[in-house]
Amino acid sequence: MQTVTLRDVAQAAGVSPATASRVLSGNPATSAVAREKVQAAAAQLGFSPNAQARSLRSTRTDSIALLISDVRNPYFADLAHSVELAARELGLVTFIGNANEDPEQQDEFLGAMLSRRVDGVLAVPQGLGDASHATATPALERLLARRIPTVLVDRTLPEVPALSVTAESTQAVHDAVGALHELGHRRIAVIGGPEHTSTAQERYASYAAALQAHGLPLDERLIFHGDFRSATGAEGARWLLDLRQDPETCPTAVLIADSPMAIGALAVLREAGVRVGTDLSVVTFDEIEAFALHDPPLSTISHDVGAMGRLAVEALASLLNGEAAVSAETAGAAVGSSVLRSEFTLRGSIGPAPGAPTAAPTPTPTTVKTTPPGPPPAT
């Protein structure tokens, strides 16, 4: 691991370290001769600049960190992909870190990135409070205290003043519940996310609002709290099967708050012989490629993850350029956040409610976009 330094290159090229540095970092104040000699020497010696030393002087590292909450969730994989692409466009390298839905792991990664002086951070944050209003973890606090350009993505922490890019689903859930209602569904269950995340909260709230708007009662017994991972989706499905034993509470439809839970739940339902779209209508949040495996096609509530990633990078870039320094001053909660709108897509996993008295003919609600399933285009 003998290190080739700038001095070595300079010496080999017969110039001073300063000149070598200028050539290699594209400083225009160089002669053609010097340029050639230095570049040849660098190539010959296999020189790669020591970024540590470099950014020790220049403070820029041309890299950002992306903290996601679960690598194995396809939704976040998609997010990572779009962030990386957008960042690359701007000449930034992205370091992906996985919090694994664990505040400690989040802080380890953030700490490491903090030490490495990344130019900025994109984070799907883990909060710290057990209950309703989660606060920032220590590393996150330091990040903000140090005024390191930071943008929260997908989720927010209510008490943390930071730029954010999120999605909201009130209208979409309203549409979904409306479609179900028209088909005769009256008891719509939810397999939801962990209550300490803003996304889960938002989805519960949209659900409650939609029920009310359609004149349906909110029944706490129809709500299952999962953790956004497949195992609890499966649990939720078993809970649902139990619920269906009792004709009084028996739900005829279910909303599932993310794709891993949907995968877990649908596997259990199929094993139990429940026919999706006939015995039970299903709407799931997020839209991932693997949903193409399911028959009937799944009705979804989703937003454009690619757009979310790009927006987040844009927001971060503007912070990096010091543009939005003002908004960082703004006290209070959400600071200059962008919100994407989710959309409801009606597909075959929704059908007439089993016990309903001759439901409406065919489900053709006009407010709702109907997209054919099938493999999405390549990128």
Partner DNA sequence: TTGTACGCGTTATCAT
Partner DNA sequence: ATGATAACGCGTACAA
- Asked if residue 323 binds its own copies (CB under 8 A), the reply is no
Question: Interface mask (CB under 7 A) for DNA, residues 51-90, using x and -?
Answer: --xx-xxx--------------------------------
The site partner of 133 among DNA, its own copies, none (C-beta below 5 to 8 Å per kind) is: none
ω into residue 296 within 30 of 0, thus cis?
yes
318 contact partners, CB below 8 Å, separation of at least 6:
324
Q: Is there a contact between 228 and 200 (Cβ–Cβ < 8 Å)?
A: yes
Nearest 10 degrees: Cα torsion 307, 132, 106, 63: 30
The reply to whether 360 sits near its own copies by the rule CB under 8 A is no
Q: Confirm or reject binding of residue 84 to its own copies (CB under 8 A).
A: yes
> Quick check: 31 binds DNA (CB under 7 A)?
yes
In whole angstroms, the minimum distance from the beta carbon of 1 to DNA comes to 10
Nearest to 339 by CA among 220, 215, 202, 204: 202
Task: Please report which helix (H) or strand (E) contains residue 310, including its range.
Answer: helix 305-320
Angle between helices 305-320 and 74-89 (to 10 degrees): 40
| Residues from 113 through 172 that contact its own copies (CB under 8 A) | 114-117, 141-142, 145-148
Q: Which of 202, 200, 280 is nearest to 237 (CA)?
A: 280
If you search the block for the tokens 């349906």, which residue do you land on? 216
Helix (H, G, I), strand (E, B) or coil at 179: helix
Judged by phi (left if over 0) then psi (alpha if -120 to 50, else beta), residue 219 lies in beta
Binding footprint of DNA, residue count (CB under 7 A) = 28
- The smaller minimum CB distance to its own copies, of residues 85 and 205, is found at 85
Among 17, 111, 158, 363, binds its own copies (CB under 8 A): 111
The residue whose two tokens read 């903090």 is 114
Tokens standing for 88?
């690359």
318 near its own copies (CB under 8 A): no
Indicate whether 26 belongs to the interface with its own copies (CB under 8 A). Answer: no
Binding partner of residue 33 among DNA, its own copies, none, CB cut-off 5 to 8 Å per kind: DNA
Footprint (CB under 8 A) of its own copies, residues 253-292: 260, 263-264, 266-268, 270-271, 288-292
Q: In this chain, which of 16, 25, 44, 52 binds its own copies, going by CB under 8 A?
A: 52
* Among 11, 44, 45, 50, interactor with DNA by CB under 7 A: 50
Single-letter residue type at 262: A
Contact status: 142 vs DNA (CB under 7 A): no
Is the torsion defined by CA of 256, 262, 268, 272 positive or negative? positive
Q: Which of 8, 35, 81, 194 binds its own copies (CB under 8 A)?
A: 81
C-beta neighbour count of 109 within 10 angstroms:
23
Q: What does residue 243 show for φ and ψ, rounded to 5 degrees?
A: -55, -35
Q: 30 contacts which partner out of its own copies, DNA, none, CB within 5 to 8 A by kind?
A: DNA
339 sits near DNA (criterion: CB under 7 A): no
CB of 45 to DNA, least distance (A): 11
Residue type, 18: A
Tokens describing residue 188: 């719509």
Residue 69 or 198 having the CB closest to its own copies: 69
- Pick 192 or 297: Cβ nearer its own copies: 297
DSSP 8-state symbol, 230: H
Contacted by 29, from DNA, its own copies, none: CB < 5 to 8 Å by type: DNA
Cβ proximity to its own copies: between 181 and 347 the closer is 347
DSSP type of residue 283: E
Q: Where do contacts with DNA occur on this chain (CB under 7 A)? A: 3, 5-7, 15-19, 21-22, 24-25, 27-31, 33-34, 47, 49-50, 53-54, 56-58
